Amino acid sequence: MTSSLPLLYSFRRCPYAMRARLGILFAELEVQLREIVLKHKPPQMLAISPKGTVPVLQLTDGAVIEESREIMEWALAQQDPQGLLDTANVAQANVLIDNNDNEFKHWLDRYKYADRHPEMTQEAYRQRGEAFLQVLEELLTDHNYLLGESVTIADIGIMPFVRQFAHVDRDTFYSLPYPNLQRWLQDWLAHPLFVQVMTKYQPWQEGDDIVVFPDDT
Same domain, 101 and 167: yes
Same domain, 72 and 102: no
Residue 129 belongs to domain spanning = 90-191
Q: Which residues contact 208 (CB under 8 A, 6 or more apart)?
A: 202
Same domain, 108 and 177: yes
**How many domains does the chain divide into?**
2
Same domain, 112 and 151: yes
Same domain, 43 and 110: no
Same domain, 115 and 167: yes
For 141-181, write each residue's pLDDT tens digit. Answer: 999 999 999 999 999 999 999 999 999 999 999 999 999 99
Taking the C-alpha atoms of residue 147 and residue 154, their distance in angstroms, rounded to an integer, is: 8
Top-confidence residue, 154 or 87: 154
Same domain, 200 and 186: no
Residue 148 located in a structural domain: yes
Q: Of 17, 19, 22, nearest to 36 (Cα)?
A: 17
Confidence of residue 2 (pLDDT cuts 50, 70, 90): very low
